[in-house]
């Protein structure tokens, strides 16, 4: 019989144990090992059963057991000590409080469609969410005043299992928010606080707001499952990345526009500061700009254009995809419908909203609304997530800035990082801290110290690595057994599972989402060659694979089935396994336990990737295509680079070539080095690479490094521009909008009329000085509205300038009719082909750079 009503009964803790509730509610427990150890000590067996969920643990202990624990004076003292430690962590000044910058923000709002903080709160699908979670955790550790904004999905992403034939099977178990580490925002009278959006047809979308505490950082999660909504709108936040395009659009409207409303609600209820920086982590949150424009138009009486400038001044946009197919694109007609009629925003014309996301550039599709384009057009600063990804992004979005060189596209890069305390195994941390100071670990140099100078002895480092590998083997055996039982096998068939994997065999990990470009099955390109590696009697390897494919991705699901079919074969099934339902809990054992982390995407389609970073923190070595973060940080001694067949257009041929290179690296380099042991059974050359990895990559891959870069390079400058343009009466935003309108109106008449050069001899040599004079027409604009630039560089076969450099020419003459003369000189610094041109770009003290208006007028040949 099904229940007709459901509710959650919360545990009432004895007074001496009352602080346990605070410790369980703050997600710091997920990365603070002493707190986790405290909860585990209450009942180790149940702690394992509830998968490290302190709220479920407390609920399972029962009144009698809790009263017994409350009489344990040593335990009560430890509870009080950790409660005091948490309060100290939440209140004491940290890095940001010491950061000396006059424009540093009072608060930053960080919007993301998913947040991967802990398996206890499953609101993530993959790397984007894990990055967002690590961003918040590291901001908390640094004291950066971030407020996270997302959605609370009723079923998260999905739970993955396998059928008997090895096909992915998805289920969507419902989450009970009352049994999660969340607090519902309530009004002063105790009623749940709400935000609302207007929908077409006079309908309303209402959402309640849950708060999760990520250390010092509040995370606001909007939930549409409220009684005020009809059945359709209640399901807006039903699951992550599910449903039709219209369903996704409603989710993104709620995330962006509803998220801004949730920020205002939270500030009203708590007295918190208003953010000066709004960070959109991917285009899903782009509609936050529309709600902020609406606020300014409605409350301050600004024009749409002035409001847009005020909003842009405080917005950061991060793109995570290196391919157009990875961008959310909606029908323009669908977007128009959601901002028209009863859903129209007063003073915010729908055509101007549509213009922000329209692909009105060469090669674009005028019928779609592009969320990345919208994100770029409504942000002051934008970035990719690795150095190579920044280059790829500048090329991908180059058409938004026609006339500018690809290198001038205003998208910078900040390479991703991972949260060290979350991803470094406690056993590895304990080993390091028993020999090295925090400074030696943080700087990396401690790993290079010999044992006689206080460093970690080789024998201890190697023993710890085996401990982590053995823990992974035990966990994998449990997961393999459960997976086969779920697939319909009987216990009598599974005796072989007890011997799956070996704690002394070279262990390779491969775990990530399974889109086709990540090439899950590249390792299967030559099955016999792989089989020999797996079953070598003297030097075998073993491989653990995990990952989910989006339910609508038939190709990705097919790759999983192909891999599982191979792993099911009796001859290899003790050496290669697929572990279903990859999540944070699995990753925290899988990554530390691997010796080698394999990554073989189709270059350059991996924006950054962070799984290999987590492995490196635990002394594992990366074996990867030079893509994402590995492209910039591989140095020849911290792992191996799989050669790529760049330029080979035939995908099958390219896969075959790169798979052969992978096999060759394993056979000739990786495997021999792992099994090359000294008289004490220690692989000295292998450990040299491990130490070098820990010393060089350890400091770089930290998300604290990443967040500091965001603060210094993006958040602080954007906070400064926000304050300037959102100052008294919004005079700055209004003036800038008016200036831009004047420039755009006049630009059709701005031109370079004539260019002359002097000092060009018959034989031009390095060190010669060339003078350039340019005569221009500004057609009503003032000289201070523009910069006339000399553009120099090498010249390719098509007479196109490459490796360009720009320098301003000086105004030297004023003529009638809006004509002016400019002059400058350039010293020739390199030999070979050299060329120059002259162009005019708009300049203003309040814009972020000369490309902001995407206007340029260049001299014609």
Mean of pLDDT over the chain = 95
Q: Is residue 805 reached through a cis peptide bond, with omega within 30 degrees of 0 on the bond before it?
A: no
CA distance 659 to 572: 19
Element containing residue 821 per DSSP (H, E): strand 819-827
**pLDDT tens for residues 578-588?**
999 999 999 99
Largest CA-CA distance found in the chain, in angstroms, rounded: 99
pLDDT cut 70: percent of the chain above it: 98
Quote the pLDDT of residue 8.
52
Q: Which two tokens stand for residue 498?
A: 């007890």
**pLDDT tens for residues 493-529?**
999 999 999 999 999 999 998 999 999 999 999 999 9
**pLDDT tens for residues 387-433?**
999 999 999 999 999 999 999 999 999 999 999 999 999 999 999 99
Q: Which two tokens stand for residue 325?
A: 């197919």
Helical axes 458-486 vs 684-700, angle rounded to 10°: 80
Between 163-167, 536-540, 793-797, the lowest mean confidence (pLDDT) is in 793-797
Quote the pLDDT of residue 4.
46
Quote the pLDDT of residue 323.
80
List C-alpha distances in Å: 518 to 90, 166, 510, 610: 40, 20, 10, 13
- The HSE-up count of residue 52 (CA atoms within 13 Å, CB side) is 18
Quote the pLDDT of residue 12.
85
Quote the pLDDT of residue 762.
64
Is the model's pLDDT at 10 over the cut of 80?
Answer: no
The residue among 324 and 693 whose pLDDT is bigger is: 693
Is the model's pLDDT at 6 over the cut of 60?
Answer: no
Quote the pLDDT of residue 804.
85
Quote the pLDDT of residue 3.
53
Is the model's pLDDT at 766 over the cut of 90?
Answer: no
Is the model's pLDDT at 221 over the cut of 70?
Answer: yes
Torsion sign over Cα 437, 438, 441, 445: negative
> In the block, which residue shows the tokens 């042991």?
677
Radius of gyration (Cα) for the chain, nearest Å? 29
667 band by pLDDT with thresholds 50, 70 and 90: very high
DSSP designation for 320: -
Torsion sign over Cα 615, 618, 620, 621: positive
**pLDDT tens for residues 568-618?**
999 999 999 999 999 999 999 999 999 999 999 999 989 999 999 999 999
Closest by Cα among 295, 214, 153 to 27: 214
Helical axes 304-313 vs 716-725, angle rounded to 10°: 150
Is the model's pLDDT at 131 over the cut of 50?
Answer: yes
**pLDDT tens for residues 704-742?**
999 999 999 999 999 999 999 999 999 999 999 999 999
What average pLDDT score do residues 83-110 get? 97
Quote the pLDDT of residue 41.
96
Closest by Cα among 721, 730, 855 to 303: 730
Torsion sign over Cα 668, 673, 674, 679: positive
Quote the pLDDT of residue 11.
73
**Sequence-distant (≥ 6) Cβ neighbours of residue 768 within 8 angstroms:** 759, 761, 827, 828
The pairing of beta strand 819-827 with beta strand 639-642: unpaired
The pTM of this model reads 0.96
- The HSE-up count of residue 524 (CA atoms within 13 Å, CB side) is 16
Alpha-helix runs per DSSP H in 496-599:
527-535, 554-567, 584-593
**pLDDT tens for residues 688-702?**
999 999 999 999 999
Is the model's pLDDT at 765 over the cut of 90?
Answer: no
**pLDDT tens for residues 17-75?**
999 999 999 999 999 999 999 999 999 999 999 999 999 999 999 899 999 999 999 99
**Sequence-distant (≥ 6) Cβ neighbours of residue 394 within 8 angstroms:** 406, 407, 409, 411
828 band by pLDDT with thresholds 50, 70 and 90: confident
CA distance 240 to 171: 13
Is the model's pLDDT at 316 over the cut of 60?
Answer: yes
**DSSP calls for 149-191:** EEE--TT-S-EEEE-TTS-EEEE-PPP-GGGSS-EE-B-TTSP
Quote the pLDDT of residue 761.
65
Quote the pLDDT of residue 565.
96
796 band by pLDDT with thresholds 50, 70 and 90: confident
The residue among 490 and 830 whose pLDDT is bigger is: 490
**pLDDT tens for residues 537-563?**
999 999 999 999 999 999 999 999 999
589 touches 503 (CB < 8 A): no
517 touches 523 (CB < 8 A): no
Nearest-10 Cα torsion for 372, 378, 381, 384:
-10
Quote the pLDDT of residue 2.
53
793 touches 830 (CB < 8 A): no
């Amino acid at each position: 019989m099904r229940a007709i009503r459901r509710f959650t009964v919360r545990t009432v803790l004895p007074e001496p144990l009352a602080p346990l509730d605070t410790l369980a509610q703050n997600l710091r427990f997920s990365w603070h090992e002493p707190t986790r150890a405290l909860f585990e000590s209450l009942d180790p067996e149940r702690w394992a059963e509830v998968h490290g969920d302190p709220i479920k643990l407390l609920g399972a202990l029962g009144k009698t057991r809790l009263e017994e624990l409350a009489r344990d004076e040593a335990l009560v003292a430890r509870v009080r000590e950790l409660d005091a430690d948490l309060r100290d962590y939440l209140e004491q000044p940290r890095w940001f409080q010491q950061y000396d910058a006059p424009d540093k923000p009072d608060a930053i709002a960080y919007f993301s469609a998913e947040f991967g903080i802990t398996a206890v709160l499953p609101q993530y699908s993959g790397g984007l969410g894990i990055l967002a979670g690590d961003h918040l955790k590291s901001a908390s550790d640094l004291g950066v005043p971030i407020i996270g904004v997302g959605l609370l999905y009723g079923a998260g992403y999905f739970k993955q299992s396998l059928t008997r034939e090895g096909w992915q099977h998805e289920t969507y178990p419902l989450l009970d928010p009352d049994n999660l580490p969340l607090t519902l925002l309530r009004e002063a009278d105790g009623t749940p606080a709400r935000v609302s959006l207007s929908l077409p047809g006079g309908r309303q979308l209402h959402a309640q707001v849950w708060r999760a505490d990520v250390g010092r950082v509040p995370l606001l999660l909007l939930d549409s499952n409220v009684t005020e909504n009809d059945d359709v709108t209640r399901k807006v936040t039903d699951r992550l990345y599910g449903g039709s395009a219209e369903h996704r659009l409603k989710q993104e409207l709620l995330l962006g526009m509803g998220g801004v409303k949730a920020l205002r609600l939270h500030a009203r209820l708590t007295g918190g500061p208003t953010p000066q920086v709004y960070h959109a982590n991917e285009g899903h949150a782009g509609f936050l700009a529309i709600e902020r424009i609406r606020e300014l138009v409605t409350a301050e009486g600004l024009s749409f254009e002035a409001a847009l400038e005020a909003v842009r001044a405080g917005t950061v946009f991060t793109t995570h995809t290196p391919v157009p197919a990875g961008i959310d694109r909606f029908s323009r007609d669908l977007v128009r419908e959601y901002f028209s009629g009863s859903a129209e925003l007063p003073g915010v014309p729908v055509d101007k909203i549509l213009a922000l996301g329209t692909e009105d550039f060469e090669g674009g599709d005028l019928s779609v609304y592009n969320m990345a384009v919208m994100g770029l057009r409504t942000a002051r600063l934008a970035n990719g997530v690795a150095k190579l990804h920044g280059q790829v992004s500048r090329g991908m979005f180059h058409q938004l800035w026609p006339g500018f060189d690809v290198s001038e596209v205003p998208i910078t890069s900040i390479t991703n990082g991972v949260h060290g305390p979350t991803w470094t195994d406690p056993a590895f941390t304990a080993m390091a801290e028993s020999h090295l100071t925090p400074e030696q670990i943080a700087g990396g140099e401690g790993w290079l110290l010999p044992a006689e100078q206080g460093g970690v002895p080789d024998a201890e480092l190697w023993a710890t690595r085996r401990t982590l590998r053995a823990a992974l083997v035990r966990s994998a055996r449990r997961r393999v057994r459960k997976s086969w039982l779920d697939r319909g096998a009987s216990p009598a068939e599974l005796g072989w599972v007890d011997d799956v994997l070996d704690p002394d065999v070279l262990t390779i990990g491969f775990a990530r989402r399974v889109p086709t470009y990540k090439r899950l099955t590249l390792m299967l390109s030559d099955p016999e060659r792989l089989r020999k590696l797996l079953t070598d009697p003297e030097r075998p390897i073993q491989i653990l694979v995990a990952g989910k494919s989006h339910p609508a991705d038939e190709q990705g699901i097919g790759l999983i089935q192909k891999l599982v079919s191979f792993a099911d074969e009796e001859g290899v099934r003790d050496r290669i396994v697929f572990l279903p339902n990859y999540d944070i809990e699995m990753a925290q054992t899988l990554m530390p336990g691997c010796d080698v982390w394999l990554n073989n995407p189709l270059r350059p389609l991996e924006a950054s990737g962070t799984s290999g970073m987590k492995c490196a923190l635990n002394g594992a070595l990366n074996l990867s295509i030079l893509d994402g973060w590995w492209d910039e940080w591989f140095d020849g001694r911290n792992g191996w680079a799989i050669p790529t067949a760049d330029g080979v257009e035939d995908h099958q041929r390219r896969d075959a070539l790169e798979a052969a290179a992978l096999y060759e690296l394993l056979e000739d380099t990786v495997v021999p080095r792992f099994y090359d042991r000294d008289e004490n059974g220690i692989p000295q050359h292998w450990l040299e690479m491990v130490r070098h990895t820990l010393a060089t990559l350890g400091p770089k891959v930290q998300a604290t490094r990443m967040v500091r870069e965001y603060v210094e390079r993006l958040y602080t400058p954007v906070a400064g521009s926000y304050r300037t343009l959102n100052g008294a009466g919004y005079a700055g935003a209004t003036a800038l909008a008016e200036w831009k309108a004047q420039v755009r109106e006049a630009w059709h008449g701005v031109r370079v009329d004539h260019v002359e050069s002097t000092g060009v001899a018959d034989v031009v040599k390095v060190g010669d000085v060339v003078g350039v004079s340019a005569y221009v027409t500004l057609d009503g604009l003032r000289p201070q509205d523009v910069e006339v630039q000399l553009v120099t560089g090498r010249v390719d076969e098509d007479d196109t300038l490459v490796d360009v450099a720009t320098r301003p020419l000086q105004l030297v003459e004023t003529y009638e009719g809006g004509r002016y003369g400019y002059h400058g000189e350039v010293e020739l610094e390199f030999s070979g082909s050299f060329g120059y041109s002259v162009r005019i770009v708009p300049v203003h003290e309040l814009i972020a750079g000369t490309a902001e208006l995407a206007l340029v007028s260049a001299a014609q040949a």
